[in-house]
Structure formats: C-alpha cells, structure tokens
Amino acid sequence: MDYLPIFLDLKQRNCLIVGGGGVAARKTALLLKAGACINLVAPALNDELSRLSKTGGIVHIPATFDPDHLHGMALAIAATDDHSTNQAVSLAARQAGIPVNVVDNPALCTFIMPSILDRSPILVAISSGGASPVLARMLRARLETLVPAAYGKLADYAARFREQVKQHFTHSERRRLFWERMLQGPFAEMVFSGKEQAAERYLLAALTQEHDSPPSGEVYLVGAGPGDPDLLAFRAMRLMQQADVVVYDRLVAPAILDMVRRDAARIYAGKARNQHTMPQASINALLVKLALEGKRVLRLKGGDPFIFGRGGEEIETLSQYRIPFQVVPGITAASGVACYAGIPLTHRDYAQSCIFVTGHLKDHSIDLDWAALARPNQTIVVYMGLLGLEELCRQLIAHGLPATMPAAIVQQGTTPNQRVLTGTLSTLPANAAATQLKPPTLIIIGEVVTLHQKLAWFHPGTDTPS
C-alpha cells in the first residue's frame, strides 16, 4: 500500500488553493462540497472563480504565493501551471506540517486526491497512487453503474436507527447480523424504491421480532480456485465478506486471502508434505468448535473443495453436529491451470477422456491403477506429483505408454508466477530437477500437451521448453 486512504473532516476549516484557472476551479468545487472555507491565492481568476469570489463563496487573495498565506490553513493545494510556484507551495507546506497536494505531480504531494464516487454519506475513493488517474476515473465510472444513488439514503436510515438497534442487541455479532440482513433484504429494496414509511415499519417490526441471543454459527466451504482472483465465483466473494473467521489452506493465493473481510480472524491450516500445521481431524474439530461459538466460518480451499480437497470429510463432520453449511465450488486446478497453460484436457484429435489422480507417495511408491492410466487417447492430470515424478514416469512407461509421450508441469498456474515446463515421459524428471521447480505444481500427460506452444495465451513469464 503506497498511500493510506483517509477521509478528512474539513467543515468550516480554512484551506488554501493556489491558482486561478480551470484546475483550481475544480478543486475549489470539491472542497466547497466538503464544507471547507476556501482561501484562493492567484493574481487573476477565471470566470467561474470570479463569480464565487463576488458572491462570497471564496476569499480571493490577488497576489502571488507567499509562505505566509499558509498560516492557519488545514490543507493546501497547488493548481498552477508554473512549476516553480507549485514547488514553493509544496516546500512551504511541508515545512509547516500542512498536508499538500500538487496537481499532477505526486512527487511534490504529501497526499493525493482520489477519484470519488459520492453517495453521501457513503463515499468511495479510488486511487492509482498517481500511476494512472485515467484508470482510476474509469473504475469510478464503472462503480457509478453498480452503486445506486439511493445507497446514501440507506446509510441515513442506518444512522437514524443505529442507537435503537444498539440498545436492543447487546451482542455485537447479533447487531451486525441484523444490519446485514436489513441492508441486503426487503428493507433496502423499500428504501431504493422510495417506500420510506414502509421501510421504517419493516425495520421496526423486524427489530421487535429479533431476540438478543447469541448468533448461530455456519460454515462456508468455498473453493478459491487455482490462484487467479478473477476466477472466484460471485457467491464465493459474497460469503468471503460475511465471514467472522477464515480457516485457509496453503494453496490459497495471498491475493485471494486479501479479499476476505478485513476484520475477520485468520487461521492457517495449511499442509505441506510431512509438515501438517493442523491434521485433518483437528481441522474438522476446529470448524465445529468455531461454528458452535456462533461464528460464521469461511473454510477457504485452493481449487475445488471436492476434488482432492477433503471437503467431503469436513462437511461429513459438520453434518454429525447438525451445523449448517454451504458449499461453493471452485475452478479446480486441473481445469484452470490447464486452460492458462493452453493445454486442452480433451480434444477430438488427441484425447477423448481425462483422468485426475493424486501423486502422493506412500512408502516411497505411488499406489495407482497403472493399467487404467496407461491407456491411449487419454489425458492424465496428476495433483501433488512433483516429488514422485520420476517414479510416475517410469511406471507409465513400464505399463505401456511410449517414452516419447508428451508431458508438462505447470508451476503456480493462473498466477503471475506461472511457469510451464514441457517434455516427454523420459525427459521430464531430469528437466524438472534441473529447473528446480517447486510446489504447487500440476502434471499433465498426454498428446494434448503438444498443443501448448500453439494455444498458449497467458504469458506472465518465459516458458521452459524441453
């Protein structure tokens, strides 16, 4: 985070703007909307600022900038086209400990102005850190269509009844659940459609029907997909914002974990080979314990929870304790990673079937149905197979697959760190060792691998050829 986003209360506070042109006029209008008292320093003003000066909307100081103009100011903005003047304003404000913004010059700023979506009292500020103001404005324009103007009215209603709801519910979690239900349900729709009296009656009726008892818990078993946050389901993102606590695995990408509600507690339950932070039985017990405490628990798993994710074991335990749960599928690694690597898992000319297996070693061997795997016109996808890669390739060759069968390993698929290593059953183990690939990886074996060079469309780095 390059900048800390904050919201300043400038009501009835003196602010200095240096400049008299169109840019200064835009900044003046913005600060006036925030209730600031504007002192504007400029030898001359454009027509818009002149009108404001004549009506008493601003105090015009017809002069060039002097550091004394900063006395008593809460904030300063330099909006001239003269670099030396802007630089002087920045230096003087810094020395005086006054926040300063120099338009279109982040290096001279101690704060930058975001692009603002105004649904007062709801405000959304978007910033690119000065890297691309145009992109920030584009994002604001997109949000304009997603956030109705009535959200401000909805916030006003919440403020009106906030104290009454607080007195009714002594449990903070119970209050939050009540407001989440109100702000996402019929009450909100009534406010949006202008039915204000009906909305008020609905909220008060709901309040009298609610009892101040500890909330009941629930578990959300959510597939986080293979790594790219854009592949998350809408439902997954909604539940990620509702959870009180998240129990997450090693394969959940940091970018996805950052999308969880910021004040949710985080519990790491990752597993690596011979390094189980928390055994599966303990994870099952933890989910039960948290839910019985009334928590809404997000169980966040890489890929899909029902494909080598032990999701079935976890909800089986939850069912035994009659704990409510929801399951949100995720894009499994086989599908997502193969797609980003440009390797279709099935293709009419190469493979009419696909099989998923896990490559966990057991007593230094891989216990798989080799005869079933070594069939023609089939794609094999191996999860967690990097450590046993040499044995995997040897067994497949021994059971009938040609040593020249194309094979690939994809490391950290769908992420900016994706690497694709291609080869054959005979060359892949040595290539993987030489390249020093590390988990998480996915192994794909079959003629479809030959399509990688032709169909690869995701290029975060450089592929490693055979």
Annotated ligand binding at 22? The verdict is yes
Q: Hey, how many other C-beta atoms are within 10 angstroms of the C-beta on 83? A: 12
Annotated ligand binding at 113? The verdict is no
Residue 449: HSE in the Cβ half-sphere, 13 Å Cα cutoff: 26
Whether 195 is catalytic is no
- Residue 158's closest CA among 136, 184, 135, 132? 184
Annotated ligand binding at 332? The verdict is yes
Annotated ligand binding at 68? The verdict is no
Of the residues 118, 195, 271, 463, only one is catalytic, namely 271
Question: Under a CB-based contact definition with an 8 Å cutoff, are residues 191 and 157 in contact?
Answer: yes
Specify the residue for token string 């959940």.
252
Report the SS3 class of residue 68.
helix
Annotated ligand binding at 254? The verdict is no
- What the block records as the tokens of 272 is 């690596």
Specify the residue for token string 């059953």.
425
Annotated ligand binding at 463? The verdict is no
Round to whole Å and give the CA distance between 344 and 308: 21
Annotated ligand binding at 413? The verdict is yes
Whether 271 is catalytic is yes
Round to whole Å and give the CA distance between 160 and 133: 36
Annotated ligand binding at 333? The verdict is yes
Round to whole Å and give the CA distance between 10 and 39: 13
Annotated ligand binding at 303? The verdict is yes
Annotated ligand binding at 23? The verdict is yes
Annotated ligand binding at 304? The verdict is yes
Annotated ligand binding at 432? The verdict is no
Of the residues 153, 228, 244, 249, only one is catalytic, namely 249
Q: Hey, how many other C-beta atoms are within 10 angstroms of the C-beta on 72? A: 10
Binding residues for S-adenosyl-L-methionine: 226, 302-304, 307, 332-333, 384, 413
Task: List, as residue ranges, the binding site for NAD(+).
Answer: 22-23, 43-44
Residues at the annotated binding site? 22-23, 43-44, 226, 302-304, 307, 332-333, 384, 413
Active site residues: 249, 271
